[in-house]
C-alpha cells in the first residue's frame, strides 16, 4: 500500500509540475506582453518601458521566469495583480470561499442524489427503476449552463423562491443564493453517478456471494449494507471523484450565470483584463484541485476495496 501511495504521489507531483509549466507558459504565448497591460493605451518612452520590464523581470529568459514564479508559488507568493497592484493572494480569499462553498454544496447533492437514486433503482426493479433510469439518463445530458438558465427562469424569475443573482449576507443568504447554482452544477454529475451506482449495484446483487448470502438468510437491509455497497464502491468512487473534481472547473460557468464572485468569475474577468498573474494563479488552483481530488478518490478506492488493495500492494 505504501509503495502504491508513494508511486501515486510522485506521479501527481510530476503531473502538477508539468501542468504548472503549461499554465505558466501558455500565457506567455499571448500576443502583447504583460507590461503593455500596465501601460494601457498610453505607452511611455522606450527607456521607461525597459525599466519597467527590468523591474518585472520580463527581460529574462522565460524558463528563468518560470522557475522564479514556481519558487514563489511554493512559498505562497502568487505574484501581484497587473490591474490593481495588490498581491494575488489577497484577491483570492473571498472568491475561494464562494467557490469552495458552491462546490461543496454541489458535491453533497451529487453524492446524496447520485448514490441514493442509483441504489434505489438497483433495488427496486420495475417502474421505480424505469423512472429513475429515464430521469437520470436525461440528466446526464443537461449541462450546468443549460440548467442555470432553466432554473433561473423557473425558480427565480417566475416563482421568486430564490435570488437570481449574487449572494445575500449571512449563512441563510448564502444557502439560498447557492442553492440554484449548486443544483445546476450537480445535475449532470448526479445523473452520471446514479447510472454507475445502479450498474455496479445490480452487478453485485447478481453476484455469487450476494446470492449465497440471500440463501443463508442474511436480511436484505444488512445485505445491502455489507456486501453490495462495499463491493460496488470501486467504480462508483472513481466516477464520483472524477465528477467532483470536475466541479471546480464547471463552477466557472455557474458563477458567471448566477453572478457569484467566485474563482471562476475572477478567472473570466482576469482573462478579459489580461491580468496574467491572476489568470495563472487561478488556473493553477483549479488544476491542483482537480488532480488532488482525483488522487483522493483513487486512494479511497484502494482503501475500500480489498481486491484493489491486494492488487496494488502486490
Partner 1 sequence: MSRTRLGLSGWIAVTVLTLLVAMAIFAPLITQHDPNTGDLLATHAGPSAAHWLGTDGTGRDNFSRLVYGARTSLLGPTLIIALSLLVGVPLSLLSAWRGGSVAFVINRVFDVLFSIPGLLLGILMVATFGAGLRSAVVALAIAYLPYVGRLSSAAAERERRLPYVQALSVQGHGATRINIRHMLPNLAPLLAGQATVAFAYALLDLAALSFLGLAVQPPQADWGVLVNDHDAIYQGHPIGVVSAAVMIVATVLSLFVLGSKISGEER
Site of interaction with partner 1 (CB under 8 A):
11, 14-16, 18-19, 22-23, 26-27, 29-31, 137-138, 140-146, 149-150, 152-153, 157-158, 164, 246, 248-250, 252-253, 256-257, 267-268, 271, 274, 276, 279, 283, 286-287, 290-291
User: What is the signed CA dihedral for 191, 194, 198, 200, rounded to 10 degrees?
Assistant: 110
Nearer to partner 1, 223 or 250 (CB): 250
Nearer to partner 1, 87 or 149 (CB): 149
How far is CA 116 from each of CA 108, 203, 223, rounded to the nearest angstrom? 12, 17, 16
CB of 191 to partner 1, least distance (A): 10
Nearer to partner 1, 274 or 309 (CB): 274
CB of 19 to partner 1, least distance (A): 5
CA gap 275, 294 in Å, rounded: 29
CA gap 181, 257 in Å, rounded: 8
Nearer to partner 1, 48 or 150 (CB): 150
Nearer to partner 1, 146 or 175 (CB): 146
CA gap 283, 242 in Å, rounded: 18
CB of 26 to partner 1, least distance (A): 5
> Other C-beta atoms within 10 Å of 199: how many?
16
Question: Phi, psi at residue 22, to the nearest 5°?
Answer: -60, -45
- Show the CA angle centred on residue 23, arms to residues 274 and 287, nearest 5°: 110
Nearer to partner 1, 214 or 238 (CB): 238
CB of 226 to partner 1, least distance (A): 27
CB of 135 to partner 1, least distance (A): 12
Residue 176 near residue 162, CB atoms below 8 Å: yes
CA gap 275, 10 in Å, rounded: 32
CB of 256 to partner 1, least distance (A): 6
Amino acid at each position: 500500500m505504501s509503495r502504491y501511495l508513494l508511486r501515486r504521489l510522485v506521479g501527481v507531483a510530476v503531473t502538477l509540475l508539468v501542468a504548472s509549466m503549461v499554465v505558466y507558459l501558455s500565457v506567455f504565448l499571448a500576443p502583447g506582453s504583460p507590461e503593455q497591460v500596465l501601460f494601457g493605451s498610453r505607452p511611455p518612452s522606450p527607456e521607461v518601458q525597459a525599466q519597467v520590464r527590468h523591474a518585472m523581470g520580463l527581460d529574462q529568459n522565460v524558463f528563468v521566469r518560470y522557475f522564479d514564479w514556481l519558487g514563489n508559488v511554493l512559498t505562497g507568493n502568487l505574484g501581484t495583480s497587473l490591474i490593481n497592484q495588490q498581491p494575488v493572494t489577497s484577491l483570492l480569499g473571498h472568491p475561494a470561499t464562494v467557490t469552495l462553498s458552491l462546490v461543496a454544496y454541489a458535491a453533497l447533492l451529487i453524492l446524496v442524489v447520485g448514490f441514493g437514486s442509483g441504489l434505489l433503482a438497483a433495488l427496486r426493479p420495475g417502474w421505480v427503476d424505469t423512472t429513475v433510469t429515464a430521469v437520470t439518463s436525461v440528466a446526464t445530458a443537461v449541462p450546468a449552463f443549460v440548467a442555470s438558465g432553466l432554473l433561473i427562469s423557473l425558480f427565480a424569475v417566475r416563482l421568486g423562491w430564490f435570488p437570481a443573482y449574487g449572494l445575500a449576507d449571512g449563512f441563510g443568504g448564502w444557502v439560498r443564493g447557492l442553492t440554484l447554482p449548486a443544483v445546476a452544477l450537480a445535475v449532470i454529475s448526479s445523473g452520471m453517478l446514479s447510472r454507475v451506482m445502479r450498474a455496479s449495484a445490480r452487478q453485485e446483487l447478481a453476484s455469487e456471494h450476494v446470492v449465497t448470502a440471500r440463501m443463508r438468510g442474511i436480511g436484505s437491509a444488512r445485505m445491502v449494507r455489507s456486501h453490495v455497497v462495499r463491493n460496488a464502491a470501486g467504480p462508483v468512487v472513481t466516477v464520483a471523484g472524477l465528477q467532483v473534481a470536475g466541479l471546480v472547473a464547471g463552477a466557472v460557468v455557474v458563477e458567471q450565470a448566477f453572478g457569484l464572485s467566485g474563482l471562476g468569475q475572477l478567472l473570466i474577468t482576469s482573462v478579459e483584463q489580461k491580468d496574467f498573474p491572476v489568470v495563472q494563479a487561478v488556473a493553477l488552483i483549479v488544476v491542483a484541485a482537480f488532480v488532488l481530488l482525483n488522487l483522493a478518490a483513487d486512494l479511497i478506492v484502494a482503501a475500500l476495496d480489498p481486491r484493489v488493495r491486494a492488487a496494488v500492494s502486490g
